[in-house]
Structure 1
Amino acid sequence: MMQRIAARFSLRLRVFLFFALIGAGGLALGIGALVAAGWDAPAETRHALALWGGGAAAATLGLVVWVWLMFDEHVARPVERIGRAALAAAHGGAPGVDARSAAYLGPLGDGAAAAAGALAEARARTAAAVEAATEEAARRRRQLETVLRDLNHAVTLCTLEHRVLLYNARAAALLERCGVVGLGRSLLEVLAAQPIEHALESVRRRFEEGRWRDRPDGLSTPFVVATADGRMTLQGRLTLMPDPDQASASGYIVTFEDATGAHEARLRRDRALLQGLGEVEAALAEPGRAREALARVAAEAAALSAADWPKADVYSTTLWTSIIRRRTGAQNFSAEIVGEPCWLRCDSVGVVEMLDTLLNRLADALGVRAFSLSATPRRIGLVGPGGIAEARVTLRLGWRGPAAPQALLDGWLREPLDAAIGGATPAELLAAHLSRLETVDGPDAEAHALELALSGPSNAHLATPARAPARPEFYDFDLLDRPLAADAHPEAPLRALSYVVFDTETTGLEPARGDRIVQIAGVRIVNGRVLKGERFDELVNPGRRIPVAATRIHGVDNRMVAEAPPAAEVLRRFHAFCAGAVLVAHNAAFDMRFLAQEAPEGGPRFDHAVLDTVLLAAHLNGQDDSLTLDALAERFAVDLPAASRHTALGDSLATAEVFLRLVDMLEARGVATLGEAIAASRGPAAIRRRQAAY
């Protein structure tokens, strides 16, 4: 029974009840003695006994209360504080125990501080030993990360249940166009299920029957799949991943690339061929139309062939510099880049080889010793999407001296270029760019030039794009052995759940009076790791002015949100980011109230399970100590940079680290499942009453 009482009531409450019992018992004994002594005494004696007995009882109660206050201040409180600090040090990674609060407890404070210090030192030694022992493994892991990150093909590794264990930067760039990709999520959230399941079933059957050993492609099979939203077509290979003993399979690897353009080009080519053959057949009955039909077929075939030629955006300065540095010939001439640089799209390797050859031939045949190189953007016809689809860039090689005879140029255009680029001729290279080489006369008889028009860039290149954050957490092989809970049911272990830790910045503190969200951010936790690369961070247009006082806190002003999307649009994306996760926030009632208010009518609802780090910390540490995010971060030695404080993403990352420390401490207290954590959060009633005001 005493153990049940100890588990139910805190130490300070039990001490208070102990002293209250002493006071009540003493008072009862005193009253009983007075009654017994004055039972047969005269009235005057009973009156005196009552007067002196009341005074003695009051003094006794006062003494008991004073002793209880001193005991609470110098014994009970410090013992609880030391206990919480020791628990935080043992399970939450806190730096140590402050012995100054235990001045009246003799060696207890110093002993607890020494034990915590010894534990910290032991952890440091263990960490150093582990770091030294795994240095080579870490080096090889970094090599793997570098290779995967820089691969041009997208790579994804999944469990047999299609849960993502690994993905590289290329996979993220492709798949994030049509959904949310992340560790622990299902690949079938972003790709159509049937082709993947069919390919996996095919190689699994091949593996189980042992037929894969005699096949050239082993446990691999090609596939073509559409993205879940139908906007892209991907093609690649799926390879089954057997266990080391090859007795069973544990997952599969998918490599793929965007085949949308190639797929559409093949369809256009087939349609053009069939249509052209039909036109030629019909035109044969009218000889005058046959030549025109054949010309259209040839033009369409040339355009489709040009679309297949490998091209990329390149800066004109980079192109000219490559030509100047290359200088394969022995001719003594100089080349100067003139005019403003611009972007263009071409096969830069082939174009550099072709122009280098032309410069050397011109210098050799015409005796030219100085060239000017320039690139001029032009727009022709209708402007396409983004203002660049119909752009062309004219490359110009100018010189002063004799003109280049057309017959000489035609001969050069038919000579093969370097075999390293396939042995194509300049004429074939120009055809692949839907261009031609033209001679242009200058303002006087000595000025001449060669010009060729190439495509404009595929991207606007208006500014240097912000680099995507590094993704050091793009794999987690532990998920093979520790599958995540499919649903956030009460019996799910806290360690098996995935979380989205989020924070909002707002125009004020009272949603009921019209305050709105101006920024929302979140970060995922999977398998006990904060995935800093899988984050959500967007500004929101609140549809009202942001008070200056609010801007001073979070730094978001009216200019920053002027072009931001409205809350309904941002929250739809945030809801997709939170799919299958438990939501975590610091003072979650505040943030959830704003989410409920801003959620679009008829749109997705945030009906996820929710955990609050304020309530969890109050359950573990009581409500006497500060429960602010800054206080908890300091207690658990979580770095909280001043520059990111009170930003939605900065507070989300700090809350995520604090939450992981709290999970360690909860498990030490026997709180190991989601249902138990929610029940533990119901305890701090005073905080919940304050939260209800939101």
Structure 2
Amino acid sequence: MKVDRRLIQAIVVIGLATVVWLALTIGLITSTLEPAQRDLLAEQLAPRLALIGLTWVFGLVAIGATLRWLFRRYATAPARLVEQTQVLLAAPKAAPMNHQGTKETKALADVIFQLASQRDSLREDVAAQIAQASAGVQQEKNRLAALMSELTQSVVVCNLDGRIILYNNRARLQFKTLSQAPTLAGGAELVGIGRSIYAVFERQLVAHALESIQQRIGRGAGSPSAQFVTTTQAGQLLKAQMAPVRNVDATGAAAEITGFVLMLDNVTRAFEEENLRDQLLHGLTEGSRSSLANIQAAVDMLAYPDLDEPMRERFLGVVREEVASLSARITDMTQKSTQGLKARWPLEEMLGADVLLATQRRIEARNKRPVTLENIDATIWLKVDSFSLTQALDYLAMRLVDEFDVKFFRLRLQASGARAQLDLIWTGQVMSTETVMSWEMDSMRFGAESTPLTVRDVVERHGGEMWFERERVRHEAFFRFLLPLASVQEQLEATQILHNDSRPEYYDFDLFQTTDQSSKLDDRLLSELSYTVFDTETTGLNPSEGDEIIQIGAARCVNGKLLKQESFEQLVNPGRLIPAATIPIHGITQDMVRGKPVITEVLPAFYKFAQDTVLVAHNAAFDMKFLQLQEKNTGLVFSHPVLDTLLLSAVVHPNQESHRLEAIAERFNITVLGRHTALGDAMVTAEVWLRLIPLLQAMGIHTLHQAREAAQKTYYARLKY
């Protein structure tokens, strides 16, 4: 622990004062003695000067220890009480102070805590009254959040600077498909509160659309909008419809534009299908024109009555050849159009039980036969085209009813390795393998309705298998479909869309008030900046001696809020063994990083995630050293401004004995979860940083430059890695 400079100064002053006092005392005594007596005294004291000096040193040490005890009890304790009181002022809810000091300061701490508790009660009363008064506004806000979340179309709302202030679940998933590293950042480097939409769209394209809207507003259009189609960096074709967000003036009329809404559709597949249909139609038209001309010419020649027999046979041969050619061309087009039809409905993540319920309703409605469900695993998620799959099962049930008068059916679903088994079961007469194959290959027909798709087409569309089996003991038979399971990530995302527990994280309307400023980042207020709070787990503590990153975790803070769902978390293969001694600390084993991307693949995604933000970390010098050592390998220089919560804690709380992350979190009454995981530590550090901002502002530290300057003056800034 560092010693307070004031204590050292006090001991030095007391030491000098005792030396002066001792010198004056000796001088006064010797002035009263005769010369012979002085000589005798000097003769007696000279051998004992070392003992006198040693006694002085011991006395000074005793005085210093006493002063240190008094200083800690009567000077440092009140200073700590001041810092704890500042924490109470900045905290949303008072926590017990646990003050260690004199009886008087402990009593004062109790009184301060009581006042803070009364303040919290008053805050709660005021908050309750405000909540009651704004119930109508909150209801409208909830309706908007619900509407945005349930939409199946991607919606993104931006301010005029192109900063995202709202987006829905569908947009988050769609931006993941646009990412160049979807398995790493998961699209988080493209979409997020406060991020720029220009990471996806060209700035000039958006500006042109806004200009078009302005012109339509000028012409008096009531609901102006603009549309454009663009290609993303990932090669996807996006169709965007833009609508303005306008202020409302005192008269209730719409005023100037403050932002815009983008409704996005990925039209890549639709465009490719349209292009294929155009090519097929063009090929059929051009190829058929010549065939029809040849047929017409041959028919005209055959109309002559005096045409000899060899010539007649020749022209009949032309007709046959051209008809065969035309028939082959039409057949080829039909097959290609069927392939397009099979891909018309994309595979989607669905709960297996929902697929069976839909099939049950369809078979019962069409065939008037009862269908029961059995052995349904409620945890199975399928990746299927539910429409064509239920259509195929309904078709097979219809054929069984029509040809074998089956009285009832059962549907069964269970997991089988990496796939799921879906069985259509019946009791009664069974058919031959030839009959099954013919049903498989016939186009599906339902009375007057028909489709060129076959059951085999549906199976191939899913990359699965289908066969017929008998159970002779039970006198049962069934069709079994092997279907793909949704991946764990797809199940999670589908669950989020269905149950939607994350609405409030996806909007921040306060960003309508922000604009890009021309001033340097250092001059920006701390409350205005966006932050990427990150942490790393490593193989050891010596980055310059070969230790490597094994995990990176990060969260974003925008507009004074921690966006918990806009996070970055990735395990990294260090290319070396993880020391056994470090595994109990971070919990990451060699098996966990085997097959994971190396740091040169992860850092570009993290760099994009942290773009246009200030980096924040606890003991940032350690984490930044690992990033800097990778500059040659990746070509990426993390030139972002960096803030360190360790140093800034020492700025606002210089009298606290510990500035470890756990100690700071305890002072701020922050619950620590996932300690020594990269993302867990990043989340705690972000909470700490948000609590530090008002304390820094109370000390007159308002800008990024002031915060960095204050941090560099602390004792802990001397640490190097």
**Fold agreement, TM-score > 0.5:** yes
User: How far does the alpha carbon of each residue in 1:469-524 deviate from its partner, in whole angstroms, 9 at most, with x for none?
Assistant: 76432110111124476887221111111111111111111122211111110001
Partner of 2:197: 187
Given that 2:383 and 2:486 are in contact with CA atoms closer than 8 Å, whether structure 1 keeps it comes out as: no
Deviation at 1:192, TM superposition (A): 3.3
Partner of 1:211: 220
Change (3 A) 1:293 1:503: same
Given that 2:355 and 2:386 are in contact with CA atoms closer than 8 Å, whether structure 1 keeps it comes out as: no
Over the matched positions of the two proteins, sequence identity in percent amounts to: 28
Matched, 1:546 2:571: no
SS of residue in 2 equivalent to 1:461: coil
User: How far does the alpha carbon of each residue in 1:95-145 deviate from its partner, in whole angstroms, 9 at most, with x for none?
Assistant: 243444123xx3x44224312331233124313531453263555544433
Partner of 1:174: 174
SS of residue in 2 equivalent to 1:211: coil
Partner of 2:660: 628
- 1:265-664 matches, within 5 Å, as 265-284=273-292, 285=294, 287=319, 288=321, 289-308=325-344, 312=348, 318-325=354-361, 327-328=364-365, 345-346=384-385, 348=387, 352=390, 363=401, 367-371=405-409, 400=429, 413=445, 415-416=447-448, 425-427=449-451, 461=486, 465=490, 467-468=492-493, 471=502, 472-483=504-515, 489-599=521-631, 601-622=633-654, 625-641=657-673, 644-664=674-694
Letter in 1 for 2:652: L
Letter in 2 for 1:688: A
User: How far does the alpha carbon of each residue in 1:627-659 deviate from its partner, in whole angstroms, 9 at most, with x for none?
Assistant: 111111111101013xx1111111110111111
Partner of 1:4: none
Matched, 1:224 2:229: yes
Aligned equivalent of 1:123, options 120, 124, 127: 120
Change (3 A) 1:40 1:375: closer
Deviation at 1:626, TM superposition (A): 0.9
Deviates further, 114-123 or 510-519:
114-123
> Structure 1 CA distance, aligned partners of 2:216 and 2:521?
37
Deviates further, 170-179 or 580-589:
170-179
The structure showing larger relative contact order (alpha-carbon pairs under 8 Å, at least 6 residues apart) is: 2
User: How far does the alpha carbon of each residue in 1:594-621 deviate from its partner, in whole angstroms, 9 at most, with x for none?
Assistant: 1122345252111211111111111222
Given that 1:234 and 1:260 are in contact with CA atoms closer than 8 Å, whether structure 2 keeps it comes out as: yes
Change (3 A) 1:344 1:337: farther
Change (3 A) 1:28 1:563: same
Given that 1:503 and 1:520 are in contact with CA atoms closer than 8 Å, whether structure 2 keeps it comes out as: yes
| RMSD, aligned α-carbons | 4.6
Deviation at 1:278, TM superposition (A): 2.1
User: How far does the alpha carbon of each residue in 1:132-191 deviate from its partner, in whole angstroms, 9 at most, with x for none?
Assistant: 532635555444333222210011100011110001111111113325211111101123
Partner of 2:248: 244
SS of residue in 1 equivalent to 2:544: helix
SS of residue in 2 equivalent to 1:248: strand
Deviates further, 91-100 or 155-164:
91-100
Letter in 1 for 2:67: W
Change (3 A) 1:398 1:226: farther
> Structure 2 CA distance, aligned partners of 1:272 and 1:431?
25
Deviates further, 496-505 or 313-322:
313-322
Letter in 2 for 1:297: M
Aligned equivalent of 1:233, options 219, 230, 237: 237
Deviation at 1:334, TM superposition (A): 6.1
Given that 1:91 and 1:668 are in contact with CA atoms closer than 8 Å, whether structure 2 keeps it comes out as: no
Q: How many residues align?
A: 644
Deviation at 1:314, TM superposition (A): 5.9
Deviation at 1:258, TM superposition (A): 1.4
Change (3 A) 1:169 1:599: farther
Given that 1:518 and 1:540 are in contact with CA atoms closer than 8 Å, whether structure 2 keeps it comes out as: yes
SS of residue in 2 equivalent to 1:545: coil
TM-score (normalised: structure 1) = 0.79
Letter in 2 for 1:239: A
SS of residue in 2 equivalent to 1:675: helix
Given that 1:494 and 1:663 are in contact with CA atoms closer than 8 Å, whether structure 2 keeps it comes out as: yes
